[in-house]
Amino acid sequence: MSDETVQRFGRVVIDDRGISQRPFLLFFGESFSRPWSEITAWAATDRLILDVKTGEERVDSRVLELRCGDKIHFITRSGQDPAFQSIVKALRRWVADKETQSLLAQVMAKHR
C-alpha cells in the first residue's frame, strides 16, 4: 500500500484494504476497521432539523451507514463538511455495487 492509495478525512481513513474510523479524543465515538469484503451494504443520508426561525428544514448533519453483517457502523459529519462527499465518492469507487437505501432515512421518514 502506498501513500497515494490512502485517503484521510479526519478520523476516517480509506485505503485499498478498507475503511476505518478512530474515536474522537481517544474515547468518544465509534472506532472500527473493516475490510471492503465485510461491507454488505452502505448508504448516505442527511439528517434534517426544523429551523424554528424560518420554519424550513435544513441539513444538520450527514450520516454514512456501513452495514457489516449484523452490525451497522455510522460515520457522522457536520452538514457543511465538504469531506463527506469525498468519503461517499471513495465508497462508490471501492464498493459501488453495495450502495442501498438508508435505514436511518427510512426511520426518520416514518416519524415526520
Range of the domain at 70: 3-110
**Terminal CA-CA length for the chain:** 45
pLDDT (tens digit per residue) in 38-84 = 999 999 998 888 888 888 888 888 999 999 988 999 999 888 888 99
CATH number at residue 78: 2.30.29
What is the pTM assigned to this prediction? 0.81
Measured in whole angstroms, the distance separating CA 12 from the mean position of its chain's CA atoms is 9
Q: In the numeric block, which cell numbers belong to residue 4?
A: 497515494
Alpha-carbon dihedral of residues 20, 21, 22, 23, nearest 10 degrees? Answer: -150
Please give the Cα distance from 96 to 31 (Å, whole number).
23
Task: Identify the burial level of 21 via C-beta atoms within 10 angstroms of its C-beta, where 0-12 means exposed, 13-18 middle and 19 or more buried.
Answer: buried
Tally of structural domains, the chain? 1
